[in-house]
Structure 1
Amino acid sequence: MTEQTQSDDVKKIPAQSAAPAEETLTDSRPAAAPSQDDVPEPVTADAAPAGAGPAEPAQTPSDGAATEPAGTPAETVGPAAADAAELTEPAELTEPAEAAEAVAEPVPAEATPAESVTPGPRKRLRDRRGLRAAVRWTAAVVVFAALGGAAAYAVTQPERTEIPGLETPDDGRWTYPALKLPKLPAGQPGAMDSDNPAGRHYADLRTLLLPVPAGAKRDTSFPDRGGWLPTADFVEIYPEDVRKKFRAALDDNTLRHIAARAWTMPDGTRTEIYLVQFATEPYTTRVRNELIVPAAFAQAAHPQTDTTWSDDDSAVPKGEMVSPYNEASPRGATHLRAAYITAGDTLAVVHMEKAGTQPAVPFHQTVVLQSQLLG
């Protein structure tokens, strides 16, 4: 009798594998066989006395493993189901039918927590994408800045005539060497400085002569830097009937010396430059007025004022005065252009002749450069 009772009690204990695993799975993978750990041990005669009612189910572990069907994969159970399993203390095992219904019932979509829909790693992915975009834009700006700086540097290096589209049209200008002013004695002002009312040029006047342009043939009969030009040679550029008068005017107005240079260009244009120095600026002004009135040269008895000069007057240093002349037609075999430059104690004369017609550009260029050396 005792043995029969024990056998009946054992039969009344529901097995944990009573609910088929295939009915509760959401995927098509076969259910795993229940392990020996999931099957409770049979109740012995010592644990259940004879005549007692159905034995109490064995207490499940605290991790809630007894409430899950055997063989159910962990990934098929949502967060809501896991929370429910932790909050509920299964005091007794439910009937097999009720356990199957509880497991088979799907979790409602609205019960899913919000954080399970938008996991954290997605935000971090967007942050990384924004960082990569910022790095790409920064790199692009740096590259374009470097390329722009390199292009600007490349454009400023070569001559304008070497850059396509930026070539300077040939307007007839001559190519002069780079101009360099001589060093003044220590403590001495420039000729046009306000603290030099006499307008004295303290530098050697021969160092202020405009250099010979490229391609020109220098006239070695002129002293250049090797000496001073005699007064008789200078007055030969004027008509013969006034030479004696002009020479006397030079001597009476404290003439100191005359520096001179001359050259001839390949096109036949002959240029002569004279720097006539006096004691102070007032003497220079007086001699200029005597030579200009009346204005006359040996090759042009009646030259006229050059009306095209006004565009170049702004390049002349402040304090200097330029009086340009152009031989009017009808002309003889040669065309004369000449200019007087008053700069402090020095009166400069630029004298240019050419057979046929002489262009104005090289003449204006030569006058401007010589005035800048004197200023």
Structure 2
Amino acid sequence: MSEQTQSDDVKIPAQAAAPAQETLTNAGPVEAAAGNASGETAAGPEPESGPADAAAVTDAADDTVQPAEATSPMSVVPGPRKRLRDRRGLRAAARWTAAVVVFAVLGGATAYAVTQPERSEIPGLETPDDGRWTYPALKLPRLPAGAPRALDEKRNTGGRHHADLRTLLLPVPSGAKRDTSFPDRGGWLPTADFVGIYPEGDRRKDRALLEDNTLRHIAARAWTMPDGTRTEVYLLQFITSPYTTRVRNELIIPAGFAQAPQPQTDTTWSEGDADSAVPEGEMVNVYDEAAPRGATHLRAAYITAGDTLAVIHMEKPKTQSAVPFHQTVLLQAQLLG
């Protein structure tokens, strides 16, 4: 989210400039009038005059010229004063400018404050605690140069994952205790250990099914949450995607596990948005143990992604919510995409 700061352009009314020669122009007619009076006197016959008459003429001339010389131009023609509207405009412009600066500072401070605390610490933005687990940031491993993605049907018709399958295992969520009996990244899980999740009477058949359909290896990881929920993630890799699909079909028709020989399809998966978030080209089959149940509640899923079949096996004492289970299935599907 980007933030834009808007500022209102305040238009200040233009002020009329005072004419520079106005004083001199107004003073002109005064001097001209005096000049005309002198001219008319000079144009008539000049009578003889003595010293007294000369003094009288001089005094008359002084009476005519003296006011123009003694009066200050600024007092005769005062310069234009700023109109009241102009002063009000300047004050309004100053107030608007100050308001824009204040709002910009407050907006920047608010944006900084919102980005600092956790989302749950901001009033009105709390995310309801719906039971989701906190997983580390997911990061896809780097593929060899020029290698296509597993679900690139044009460049990778066999759906092969070129990355090490163990790097595609979903990481352990926060607060969980990892089961060190599973190989994790240290190696591959024996096929006999994997088929232990199925009913005892089906294990030999299931093991033969895997080996006959070009099973290469099994990556696995398991952990237990503080509430007792145990999650096991298995990634089975075959030569090409057709073998993956064939094994999946054999395992889900009919679906059955040691804990739940006849689980039902999890309808809550298709009712939500999880199915639409699965990468294109993958298929997810989700199951839920039907009631009445035993001491634990089982949820399980198959994810078909190219040459790999992922199996999510999750058990919890009494009853478990679908939220962390669906979250786990979806994140593992995204890692395989």
Q: In the alignment, does 2:119 pair up with 1:160?
A: yes
Q: How far off its partner does 1:179 sit?
A: 1.0
Structure 2 equivalent of residue 23 of structure 1: none
Q: Provide the rounded CA distance (Å) in 2 between the counterparts of 1:180 and 1:62.
A: 104
Give 3-state SS (helix, strand or coil) of 2:287's partner: strand
**1:169 alignment partner, one of 128, 131, 140:** 128
Q: 1:193 to 1:263 in 2, by over 3 A?
A: same
Give 3-state SS (helix, strand or coil) of 1:308's partner: helix
Q: Provide the rounded CA distance (Å) in 2 between the counterparts of 1:373 and 1:177.
A: 13
Q: In the alignment, does 2:112 pair up with 1:184?
A: no
Residues 20-48 of structure 1 deviation map (CA, whole Å, 9 limit, x = unaligned): xxxxxxxxxxxxxxxxxxxxxxxxx9536
Structure 2 equivalent of residue 229 of structure 1: 189
Residues 33-82 of structure 1 deviation map (CA, whole Å, 9 limit, x = unaligned): xxxxxxxxxxxx9536xxxxx999424336725689xxxx969xx96xxx
Structure 2 equivalent of residue 277 of structure 1: 237
Amino acid at match of 1:175: T
Give 3-state SS (helix, strand or coil) of 1:260's partner: strand
**1:369 alignment partner, one of 288, 313, 331:** 331
Residues 193-241 of structure 1 deviation map (CA, whole Å, 9 limit, x = unaligned): 2422211111100011111111111111111100000111111111111
**2:283 alignment partner, one of 321, 332, 343:** 321
Q: Provide the rounded CA distance (Å) in 2 between the counterparts of 1:276 and 1:46.
A: 141
Q: In the alignment, does 2:202 pair up with 1:242?
A: yes
Structure 2 equivalent of residue 309 of structure 1: 269
Amino acid at match of 1:61: A
Q: How far off its partner does 1:121 sit?
A: 1.3
Structure 2 equivalent of residue 104 of structure 1: none
Q: 1:66 to 1:273 in 2, by over 3 A?
A: closer
TM-score (norm 2): 0.77
Amino acid at match of 2:109: A
Q: How far off its partner does 1:307 sit?
A: 0.6
Structure 2 equivalent of residue 255 of structure 1: 215
Counterparts in 2 of 1:1-375, with a 5 A limit?
46-47=50-51, 57-59=56-58, 60-61=60-61, 64-65=64-65, 120-123=80-83, 126-194=85-153, 195-310=155-270, 311=272, 312-375=274-337
Q: 1:65 to 1:261 in 2, by over 3 A?
A: same
Q: Provide the rounded CA distance (Å) in 1 between the counterparts of 2:51 and 2:321.
A: 134
Q: 1:129 to 1:249 in 2, by over 3 A?
A: same
Q: How far off its partner does 1:165 sit?
A: 2.7
Q: Provide the rounded CA distance (Å) in 1 between the counterparts of 2:66 and 2:257.
A: 130
Q: Provide the rounded CA distance (Å) in 1 between the counterparts of 2:197 and 2:157.
A: 31
Give 3-state SS (helix, strand or coil) of 1:222's partner: coil
Amino acid at match of 2:140: L
Give 3-state SS (helix, strand or coil) of 1:180's partner: coil
Q: How far off its partner does 1:132 sit?
A: 4.2
Q: How far off its partner does 1:146 sit?
A: 3.1
Q: Provide the rounded CA distance (Å) in 2 between the counterparts of 1:55 and 1:176.
A: 118
Give 3-state SS (helix, strand or coil) of 1:214's partner: coil
Amino acid at match of 1:256: R
Q: Provide the rounded CA distance (Å) in 1 between the counterparts of 2:206 and 2:224.
A: 27
**Which structure is richer in relative contact order (CA contacts within 8 A, separation 6 or more)?**
2
In the alignment, structure 1 segments of 5+ residues that lack a partner are: 1-44, 49-53, 80-114
Alignment RMSD: 2.5
Q: Which moved more, 1:362-371 or 1:185-194?
A: 185-194
Q: Provide the rounded CA distance (Å) in 2 between the counterparts of 1:318 and 1:145.
A: 45
Q: Provide the rounded CA distance (Å) in 1 between the counterparts of 2:67 and 2:266.
A: 117
Q: 1:55 to 1:321 in 2, by over 3 A?
A: closer
Q: 1:62 to 1:186 in 2, by over 3 A?
A: farther
Give 3-state SS (helix, strand or coil) of 2:233's partner: strand
Q: Provide the rounded CA distance (Å) in 2 between the counterparts of 1:328 and 1:365.
A: 20
Give 3-state SS (helix, strand or coil) of 2:250's partner: helix
Matched length: 282
